[in-house]
Structure 1
Amino acid sequence: MSLTQPDLEKLLVELIDKHQVPGAQLAVLDGDTITEVAAGVLSIRTGCPVRTDALFLPGSIGKLYTATLVLMLADEGKVDLDRPVKTYLPDFEVRDVHARDTVTVRDLLRHSSGFDGDVFIDTGRGDDALPRYLDEIRDLPQIAEPGRIWSYSNSGYSILGRLVEVVGGTVFETALRERLLDPLGLQSSVVFAEEVIGHPNSVGHVPNPEDPDSLMVSPQWGLYRSCGPMGASLVASAGDVIRFAKLHLDGGVAADGTRLLSAELVAAAQVPQIDLVDDTVLGESWGLGWILDHVGDVRVIGHDGNSLGQNAFMRIAPEERFGFCLQTNVESALTMYRELADWLFEQRLGATLRKDPEPLDSQVVADPSRYVGTYSREGVALEVAAADDGSLVASFMITREELGDMPPMNDLPLVRVERDDSFLLDLPIADAALLAVFFNPVDESAAPTYLHFGGRAHKRV
């Protein structure tokens, strides 16, 4: 079934109305055709309508661009993915000496460094932002042996950005523009806020603290320059995100026939590098930058992104050359994304997303001591306790200033589901419940040593 522009426009309008999203962009790839539609407003303050060429913050989808720059350096023989990061960055330091000396470039690309990963700090707007960032994270604590488990790491990608600078001999943003945006002809993609001014652009929307059921414009538009390689540098339309992704569908060849990346490395990036503990939110495994998953029996690659009141999603079935990028201007649009993805993939491929496991009838936990305790990472701790009715509850304690003001998150139900050591946890800052998985990477039958939630591993202390 072909998906027409009127069909997609109607669908997007219905979805933003249903899910109370101010505005959104959708770009759908079908074969070699990209259909772009838009709905709603760029800002509830101005009421300016969303256009298909408007710029949004794709957030961590930008990590794919960073990964591509690293792969280009590997293609040129300047970087070996299996050599320690310290080979290329002699000043690289983290708290654990063994990790410092053994974490590889591949580990950073696939989020298996084992050190904490959510440090968002302002190190200035100068060209020294990334070297100064590396100075600030010298005391990052280790939560797992390098290469052992997957745990999403924003910090790891800023380290990769610095590697791009040192090995490539230019600042990250220049490399991004000159090596990817310009050769791919991405006219609705920029890298600095001052470049955004010349384009229609979206602002983020967050709950109004005085009226949590309503939205307000986010008081901060973008993240710091030090966070650029994490995805903060990229500001783009949904259509341009798909045009970038086509580089990886076309074997590393740009639309004008220029080869930017070898077919061998394009293929290698889509090979599973490490499995995820939870396959319901992101995917089954991680490649060299890519989320790797299946929708039904169809192989899918992609990435998600969050950035200060904006939420984006991209999924593509490479063999079928079908996929989409959705960009929204709310901080959590997971439910909308799932409904959209189900409709698109079912209409075109006869498949739908994997669902969360179903809640069990009884919420009584037979052995609460298996789970009760504190699970932490730098600045965040989850306290799991037994409730009077025999169920489990979780409380969040957040001490990291850069994570911003959060509503109270105490005694939230952990809902037992039809999967061992797994529970659904619904946060007041999210629009959908996420799976919380207790696991032990050394011995699955032993007491859990980690709690995996929101893409991050929290170590039992």
Structure 2
Amino acid sequence: MFRNVVAVLCLALPLASGPAPPHDPAPSSVDAFVAAYREATGLPGAAVAITHGRRVVHAAGYGETASGEPVTADTPMAVASVSKSFTSLAVMQLVEKGEVELDRPVRGYLPEFTMADPRAARITVRQLLNQTSGMADSAFREKSLPQPDTLEGAVARLRTARLATEPGTAFSYHNTNYQVAARLVEVVSGRPFGAYLDANVFTPVGMRDSRTVDTDRDLPGSARGHLVVLGRAVAVPEPAGFGNGSGGILSTAGDMARWLIAQNNGILSPQSVKEMRTPSEQSGEYALGWMIGRTGRGTPVVQHDGDLFTSTAAQLLMPESGYGVAVMANTGTAFGDADALMDGLVAMIEGGTPEIPSSPPFLVTDILFALLTLATAGLAVRGVARARRWAATHSRWRLLPYMVPLVLCVMVVPIMRVLLRGGDIMWVQVVYLYPTFMIWLVTGAVAGTAVAAARLWARRRASMEIVVE
């Protein structure tokens, strides 16, 4: 631990004035940064890959998986929506072969793609990949509807769906776009999506430990993740969901290093690479499975993040210097550990200082809600014990405020959808995002209902006793 702290402090020495040119961070400095970050945040495990041109600068694993095994450079972990870059590549390979045209309607290649909206016939392949198809969570509740088991099923459940906007007029990040794109690859190539990726992406690139899965049930122990509650990581299963094509790839630090190198090594023609890295006018930053942006120091980057409720991932390319970074972390989207580690590693490449959090995320908030939960439970016990005394002096209408937590429990999903601007979410997913708050809210709902029921029962008994007398 002391060596880790010293190494990180060394990274913080004053830099010469002016921006430093990108350079390889020392593997020992990377290890020290990740170790210090994990110690500060309680992050159980992570995997990191840094490349430069055709070289692997560093690829390593840290900590433990949810099943207690050490994370190494060869441990398969979930990359979540980073998978979209792979799906886009698969489509672009078919484009280069002349089997698919980006600006041709999807239905020309995938006749089974039908919706209860005639405008869907105009959705093009490009609009799937840059997320301007008109499909959106606000019109199709992809997460809260029954989940499919296959890509074919993911497309079939669209038959009763409608579009939120006219195709090509608005950007909306929607996983179903990429599930339809992956199914298109299956139909055009005549092979299951996983088999296509293995033969045309993973094997040629040398990603021997990577694969794609359909649902949360297919995640191996190494790819399962955690919530962090009161500063402690708790291994939990991923909420039920379908992710093939949009977020189903499992990979390792070593394989992601090979993937990053392949982006600078002729994996596609220069024209196809340009297509993949040209954002739509509607979003200004989302291209075909990649996002275009800049680092805090202004360096142009091509990147994509990935979020599950129990793990996160991130990848980034710096085209001008040829650097690439990939990170997988086994905590969920509420904590943003992959992005935070990515920011630190990019800062090191750019000659800056990586930031180390001072404490686990939301620790103070968790403590507050834990205390509120205990206080709520204690007040409920007191309220039930004094129900008879209360019933003798109060009107039953005074019980209405006790039902507010129950109403909030019932309404939490609609409220969250408003806060997410139409984004879809399930009740259990809200629990994963805000565990201590939801524990307090459920405790409050149970406590309020119990107190109200006890006091109503006490009033009834008191009334019956009066009648008997």
The TM tier, using the shorter chain, reads: 0.5 to 0.7
Aligned-pair CA distance for 1:247: 2.4
User: Tell me, what secondary structure is at the counterpart of 2:327?
Assistant: strand
Higher alpha-carbon deviation: 150-159 or 295-304: 295-304
1:243 aligns with 2:258: yes
Shift of 1:219: 2.4
In the other structure, the counterpart of 1:113 is: 133
Q: Secondary structure at the residue paired with 2:244? A: helix
User: Equivalences for 1:213-362 in 2 at 5 Å?
Assistant: 214-220=232-238, 223-224=241-242, 227-232=243-248, 234-252=249-267, 261-276=268-283, 285-295=285-295, 296-332=297-333, 335-349=336-350
Taking a change above 3 Å as real, the CA distance of residues 246 and 273 of structure 1, as seen in their structure-2 partners, is farther
State the 1:199 CA deviation: 9.0
Which residue number in structure 2 is paired with residue 41 of structure 1? 64
Aligned-residue Cα RMSD (Å) equals 3.3
Q: What is the SS of the residue equivalent to 1:48? A: coil
TM-score, reference length from structure 2: 0.67
Cα deviation for residue 400 of structure 1 reads 5.7
- Code of the aligned partner of 2:246: M
* TM-aligned CA deviation for residue 64 of structure 1: 0.8
- Residue 148 of structure 2 is matched in structure 1 by 123
Q: Secondary structure at the match of 1:39?
A: strand
Classify 1:429/1:272 alpha carbon distance in 2 versus 1 (closer, same or farther; 3 Å): farther
1:344 is displaced (CA, Å) by 2.9
Residue in structure 2 matched with residue 95 of structure 1 by the alignment: 116
Deviation at 1:245, TM superposition (A): 3.0
How far did residue 139 of structure 1 move? Answer: 2.3
Specify the SS of the correspondent of 1:137. Answer: helix
* d(CA) in 2 for partners of 1:398, 1:185: 37
DSSP 3-state at the match of 2:77: coil
Question: Which of 58, 74, 91 is 2:79 aligned to?
Answer: 58
TM superposition shift of 1:85:
0.9
SS at match of 2:317: strand
Write the distance in 2 (CA, Å) between the matches of 1:18 and 1:122. Answer: 37
Q: Identify the residue that residue 404 of structure 1 maps to in structure 2.
A: 428
Distance 1:301 1:399 in 2: 27
1:112 partner amino acid: T
| C-alpha contact 1:39 1:49 (8 A) present in aligned 2 | yes
Amino acid at match of 2:430: M
Q: Match for residue 42 of structure 2?
A: 20
Distance 1:239 1:318, change over 3 A: farther
State the AA in 1 paired with 2:275. Answer: A
> 1:200, CA displacement in angstroms?
8.1
Deviation, structure 1 residue 154:
0.3
Tell me if structure 2 keeps the 8 A contact 1:52–1:237: yes
The aligned amino acid for 2:261 is: K
Rounded to whole Å, the distance in 2 between the matches of 1:153 and 1:86 is 19
Mapped pair 1:32 → 2:48: no
**C-alpha displacement of 1:153:** 1.2
| Closer, same or farther: CA 134–336 of 1 in aligned 2, 3 Å | closer
- The number of residue pairs the alignment matches comes to 348
Q: CA deviation at 1:20?
A: 1.9
Distance 1:84 1:381, change over 3 A: farther
Pairing 1:185–2:198 present: no
How far apart are the structure 1 equivalents of 2:174 and 2:336?
24
Letter of the 1:38 partner, please give it: G
- Are the equivalent residues in 2 in contact too, given 1:116–1:140 (CA < 8 A)? no
- Relative contact order higher in (CA < 8 Å, ≥ 6 apart): 2
Q: C-alpha displacement at 1:145, in angstroms?
A: 1.8
The amino acid across from 1:116 in the alignment is A
In the TM superposition, 1:380-459 aligns within 5 A as 401=426, 404-407=428-431, 428=434
Residue 7 (structure 1) aligns with: 29
Question: In structure 1, what residue type is equivalent to 2:322?
Answer: R
Q: Distance in 1 between matches of 2:221 and 2:233?
A: 21
- Identity rate of aligned residues, in percent? 25
* Alpha-carbon distance between aligned partners in 1 of 2:113 and 2:218, rounded to the nearest angstrom: 35
Is the 1:313–1:326 Cα contact (8 Å) retained in structure 2? yes
**SS of structure 1 residue aligned to 2:162:** coil
Give distance in 2, aligned partners of 1:292 and 1:351: 22
Q: Is the 8 A contact 1:380 1:398 kept in 2?
A: no
Mean CA deviation greater in 75-84 or 340-349 = 340-349
How far residue 161 of structure 1 moved from its aligned partner, in angstroms, is 0.9
Query: So what's the TM-score if we normalise by structure 1?
Result: 0.68
Q: Which runs of 5+ in 1 are unaligned?
A: 253-260, 277-283, 354-378, 385-393, 409-426, 431-461
* Residues 247-281 of structure 1, C-alpha deviations (whole Å, 9 max, x = no match): 222232xxxxxxxx3222122211222353xxxxx
Question: Cα gap change, 1:193/1:150 in structure 2, threshold over 3 Å: closer, same or farther?
Answer: closer
State which structure, 1 or 2, has the greater radius of gyration over its C-alpha atoms: 2
The question of whether the paired residues in 2 share the 8 Å contact of 1:381 and 1:397 is answered with: no
User: What is the deviation of 1:57?
Assistant: 0.5
How far residue 185 of structure 1 moved from its aligned partner, in angstroms, is 1.3
Q: What is the alpha-carbon distance in structure 1 between the residues aligned to residue 237 and residue 222 of structure 2?
A: 15
Distance 2:353 2:105 in 1: 40
* Structure 2 alignment gaps of length 5 or more: 1-22, 355-412, 437-469
1:37 CA displacement: 2.1
Divergent runs of 4+, >6 A: 196-200, 395-399
Task: Report the 3-state secondary structure (helix = DSSP H, G, I; strand = E; otherwise coil) of the residue aligned with 2:294.
Answer: strand
Sort the Cα spacing of 1:308 and 1:330 in 2 relative to 1 into closer, same or farther, 3 A: same
Change (3 A) 1:335 1:56: closer
2:131/2:174 contact within 8 Å kept: yes
Aligned pair 1:159/2:180, yes or no? Answer: yes
Q: 1:193 to 1:147 in 2, by over 3 A?
A: closer
Number of the residue aligned with 1:79: 100
